[in-house]
Structures are given as C-alpha cells and as structure tokens.
C-alpha cells in the first residue's frame, strides 16, 4: 500500500508531466452512463475462444519475452483477459482504437483490474494499467497530449476498478486503449473497460 506521502509525490510528478496520469480513484459505473466501448467486456470472441478485434502480440514474441495473454473465465460465462510477464523490461499488452466522435470533449475511462505477484521494473511509469491516449489518422500519439492511464502499482485484494478522465484532442481520430503489464512482472487480470462521454 502506498502511503499519503508517496501519493503526494506521485501526484506532483504527474502534474509536472514527469509521469503519466495514473489513476487511483475507485469509481462505480451507473446505469445512466452510456458506455461507447462495448469491446471492453471481452465477450466477443473468435470461434477458437481468442480475442476478436484486438491487436495482440504474436505468440512467438510472447514466448521470447516470457509473456502470456489468455482469455479466462471463472464461471464459464463472464470472460476476462489475463496478462503475465517474467521480464520487467518488456511491455506486454493488447490494443484497440475507438474512433472519436466530433462532440466528445472529455471521456471517463475505467477498467477493472486484479493484480498478483506484481513487481515493478526500473521505469517510474511501470505498472499494471491501461493507457488511454489520443492518436492521429496514422495511429500515432498526438504531440502535446498526455499519456492518460488507469491502473495499479501493487497487488490488489481481488478486483478493483480504476478510472481516469481524459481530454479528447480536437485533432484526435481515435482513442487508443492499451491495457497490459508495463515493465512489470507478475499477473494482471482485467475486464470491463468502459468509456463514457462526459461532454
């Protein structure tokens, strides 16, 4: 558990632009909210039970770096993704772009995470998290925009929900959703990635 002093230091580093905006606020979704990212529930799978519509690293690369990405289910109905890594120098993640609508100004992005045996690597931004970033028509991060993120930096006691509010750049063509282990070893389960327009 991170004490108040460490949280204050992290907050100051984020404000100064030294760290991405890593959210640590637990927020519950309500029925009144309109989720525009249905792919975040991981219930749309291929006939073989693998992720559909997501960019996933090639199995040979995952094997080379000691990473695994699996679709799991604890009750036979609700699916989630499990990412594991044994190399704290690697980023093991999946990705998907959500096309931006002209009227979007701010989006509330949330993800449910369960982390175990988590050990962070050397980078200050190492974590089990999802990035939510503004990208252009080439899929590249827009210059001058933040590396928004919601995630955890330590093991969790079961499932937790983390949320970050992002500003949508007028030049953005899409929001890149990038959940995974960022320079960290251990296991990260994630599910129910939601994106809700606020204005």
pLDDT tens sequence across 61-107: 999 999 999 999 988 889 999 999 999 999 999 999 999 999 999 99
pLDDT at 49 (0 to 100): 87
Confidence of residue 2 (pLDDT cuts 50, 70, 90): very low
Domain CATH for 147: 2.60.120.260
What does the pLDDT read at residue 22? 56
pLDDT tens per residue, range 133-177: 999 999 999 999 999 999 999 999 999 999 999 999 999 999 999
Average pLDDT value for residue range 183-193? 98
Tell me whether residue 2 is in a domain: no
Question: For residue 16, is it within any domain?
Answer: no
Residue 3: inside a domain, yes or no?
Answer: no
User: Which residues form the domain of 168?
Assistant: 21-197
Q: What confidence score (pLDDT) does residue 1 get?
A: 41
> Domain for residue 89, yes or no?
yes
For residue 12, the model assigns a pLDDT of 46
* pLDDT, greater one: 21 or 113: 113
pLDDT at 15 (0 to 100): 45
pLDDT, mean of residues 21-41: 67
The verdict on residue 133 lying in a domain is yes
pLDDT of residue 21: 53
Type and span of the H or E element at 191 = strand 184-197
The predicted structure's pLDDT at residue 74: 85
Looking at the structure of the chain, the number of domains it has is: 1
Assess if residue 186 is contained within a domain.
yes
DSSP letter assigned to residue 169: P
12 lies in some domain: no
Which residues lie below 8 Å from residue 198, measured CB to CB, with a gap of 6+? Answer: 105, 106, 107, 108, 165
Cα–chain-centroid distance for residue 18? 19
Q: Residue 32: its pLDDT value, please? A: 53
Alpha helix (H) residue ranges in the chain: 4-15, 59-65
Q: How far is CA 70 from CA 118, 149, 185, in A?
A: 17, 22, 16
Is residue 14 in a domain?
A: no
Neighbours of 8 (CB within 10 A): 10
């Amino acid at each position: 558990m991170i004490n108040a002093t460490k949280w204050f230091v992290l907050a100051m580093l984020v404000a100064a632009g030294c760290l991405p905006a890593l959210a640590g606020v637990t927020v519950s979704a309500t029925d009144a909210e309109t989720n525009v990212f249905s792919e975040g529930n991981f219930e749309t799978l291929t006939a073989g039970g693998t992720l559909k519509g997501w960019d996933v690293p090639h199995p040979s690369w995952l094997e080379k770096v000691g990473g695994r990405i699996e679709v799991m289910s604890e009750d036979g109905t609700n699916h989630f993704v499990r990412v594991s890594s044994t190399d704290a120098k690697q980023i093991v993640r999946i990705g998907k772009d959500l096309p931006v609508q002209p009227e979007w100004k701010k989006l509330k992005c949330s993800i449910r995470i369960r982390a175990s045996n988590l050990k962070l690597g050397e980078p200050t931004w190492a974590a089990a998290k999802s990035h939510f970033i503004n990208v252009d028509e080439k899929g590249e991060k827009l210059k001058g925009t933040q590396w928004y993120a919601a995630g955890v930096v330590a093991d969790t006691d079961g499932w937790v929900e983390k949320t970050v509010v992002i500003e949508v750049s007028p030049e953005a063509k899409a929001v890149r959703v990038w959940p995974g282990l960022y320079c960290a070893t251990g296991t990260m389960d994630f599910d129910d990635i939601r994106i809700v327009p606020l204005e």
